[in-house]
Amino acid sequence: MKIGIVCYPTFGGSGVVATELGKALAANGHQVHFITYSQPARLDFFSANLFYHEVTISKYPLFDFPPYEVALASKMVEVARFEKLDLLHVHYAIPHASAALMAKQILATYGINIPIITTLHGTDITLVGKDPSYNPVVTYSINMSDGVTAVSQNLKDDTYNHFDIKRDIRVIPNFVDFSRFSLQPREHFKKAIAPGDERILIHTSNFRRVKRTSDVIRIFQKIQEKIPSKLLMVGDGPERANTEQLCRDLDCCMDVRYLGKQDAIEEILSVSDLFLMPSESESFGLAALEAMACKVPVISSNAGGLPELNVDGVTGFLDEVGDIDNMAAHAIYILEDNERLAKFKQAALDRAKNFELSLILPLYEEYYQEVIDRVGVIS
Ligand code: GMT
**Could you write out the three-class secondary structure of the chain?**
CEEEEECCCCCCHHHHHHHHHHHHHHHCCCEEEEEECCCCCCCCCCCCCEEEEECCCCCCCCCCCCCHHHHHHHHHHHHHHHHCCCEEEEECCCCHHHHHHHHHHHHHCCCCCCCEEEEECCHHHHCCCCCCCCHHHHHHHHHHCCEEEECCHHHHHHHHHHCCCCCCCEECCCCECCCCCCCCCCHHHHHHHCCCCCEEEEEECCCCHHHCHHHHHHHHHHHHHHCCEEEEEECCCCCHHHHHHHHHHCCCHHHEEEEECCCCHHHHHCCCCEEEECCCCCCCCHHHHHHHHCCCCEEEECCCCHHHCCCECCCEEEECCCCHHHHHHHHHHHHCCHHHHHHHHHHHHHHHHHHEHHHHHHHHHHHHHHHHHHHCCCC
Ligand 1 centroid to residue 22 C-alpha, Å: 18
pLDDT at 166 over 60: yes
Ligand 1 centroid to residue 196 C-alpha, Å: 35
Same domain for 75 and 58? Answer: yes
Nearest-atom number in ligand 1 for the CA of 280 is 23
pLDDT at 45 over 80: no
Domain total of the chain = 2
Residue range of the domain that includes 66: 2-175+357-378
In sequence order, the β-bridge partners of residue 148 are: 118
Ligand 1 centroid to residue 285 C-alpha, Å: 7
Q: Looking at residue 263, what is its pLDDT?
A: 85
Same domain for 251 and 361? Answer: no
Nearest-atom number in ligand 1 for the CA of 289 is 16
pLDDT at 129 over 70: no
pLDDT at 286 over 60: yes
Same domain for 119 and 262? Answer: no
CATH number assigned to the domain comprising residue 132: 3.40.50.2000
Ligand 1, atom 21, residue with closest C-alpha:
282
| Ligand 1 binding site (Cβ under 6 Å of any ligand atom) | 12-15, 17, 92, 121-123, 126, 151, 174, 206, 208, 210, 281-286, 304
Torsion sign over Cα 331, 204, 207, 257: positive
pLDDT at 377 over 60: no
| Mean pLDDT value across residues 264-275 | 96
Instruction: Express each pLDDT in 174-231 by its tens digit.
Output: 999 999 999 988 888 899 999 999 999 999 999 999 999 999 999 999 999 999 999 9
182, 294 contact by CB (below 8 A): yes
Ligand 1, from 284, 360, 364: best to mutate by most atoms within 8 Å of Cβ?
284
Q: Looking at residue 378, what is its pLDDT?
A: 46
Same domain for 24 and 169? Answer: yes
Same domain for 272 and 282? Answer: yes
Same domain for 148 and 256? Answer: no
Ligand 1, from 8, 11, 14, 261: best to mutate by most atoms within 8 Å of Cβ?
14
Residue 230's Cα: distance from chain center in Å?
Answer: 25
Give domain status of residue 182, yes or no: no
Give domain status of residue 181, yes or no: no
Give domain status of residue 63, yes or no: yes
pLDDT at 10 over 80: no
CA 87, CA 243: separation in Å to the nearest integer?
Answer: 43
Q: Looking at residue 185, what is its pLDDT?
A: 85
Same domain for 220 and 342? Answer: yes
CA 352, CA 314: separation in Å to the nearest integer?
Answer: 12
Give domain status of residue 180, yes or no: no
109, 96 contact by CB (below 8 A): no
| Mean pLDDT value across residues 157-183 | 95
Q: Looking at residue 151, what is its pLDDT?
A: 97
pLDDT at 379 over 60: no
* Average pLDDT value for the chain: 94
Q: Which residue has the higher pLDDT, 150 or 128?
A: 150
pLDDT at 54 over 90: yes
72, 97 contact by CB (below 8 A): no
Ligand 1 centroid to residue 84 C-alpha, Å: 31
For residue 11, name the pLDDT band (cuts at 50, 70, 90). low
Nearest-atom number in ligand 1 for the CA of 281 is 23
pTM: 0.94
pLDDT at 44 over 90: no
Nearest-atom number in ligand 1 for the CA of 151 is 14
319, 295 contact by CB (below 8 A): no
For a pLDDT cut of 70, what percent of the chain falls above it?
Answer: 98
